[in-house]
Amino acid sequence: MSYQKEAMTTQPQMTVTSYTVSHWSSDVCDCCDDCGICLCGAFIPCILGCKVAQDNGDSCCLPFLPGAMIALRTSIRDRYHINGSVCDDWVIMTCCSLCGLCQMAREQKARG
């Protein structure tokens, strides 16, 4: 019962994926850039939250879970390679959640 081991002659190569870091297409306080999104965010934010979640490929129920809007914002940032951090997302969604929600909706609309 003898066998020979094959020697590895080459090292596995590391692959590097590069992408361009971008910025939000509109600022958090630019709510009036799109009046439809602004009015929806002001009067029926739960429906706008469901639409943003569904457009991101998530469940419509996601906006109703505690802390989920922070995760949704982080997911959108990652998808579009937008500069920022989870801490930034937390501050925006905690201090001015409706403006942050409108910004996410405008971003999805701008990026298609």
Q: How far apart are CA 73 and CA 80, in angstroms?
A: 11
pLDDT of residue 31: 83
**pLDDT tens sequence for the chain (112 residues):** 667 777 667 777 877 777 788 999 999 999 889 999 999 999 999 999 999 999 999 999 999 998 999 999 999 999 999 999 999 999 999 999 999 999 999 999 999 8
What is the pLDDT, as a whole number, of residue 1? 61
The C-alpha atoms of residue 40 and residue 27 are separated, in whole angstroms, by: 18
Task: Please report the DSSP string for 46-73 in residue order.
Answer: HHHHHHHHHHTTS-TTGGGSTTHHHHHH
**Could you tell me if 65 and 37 are in contact, meaning their C-beta atoms sit under 8 angstroms apart?**
no
Tell me the whole-structure pTM to 2 decimals.
0.81
pLDDT at site 8: 67
Which amino acid would we find at residue 110? A
CA distance 75 to 71: 6
Instruction: Give the pair of three-digit tokens for residue 27.
Output: 């600022």
Residue ranges per structural domain of the chain: 31-111
d(CA 72, CA 60): 12
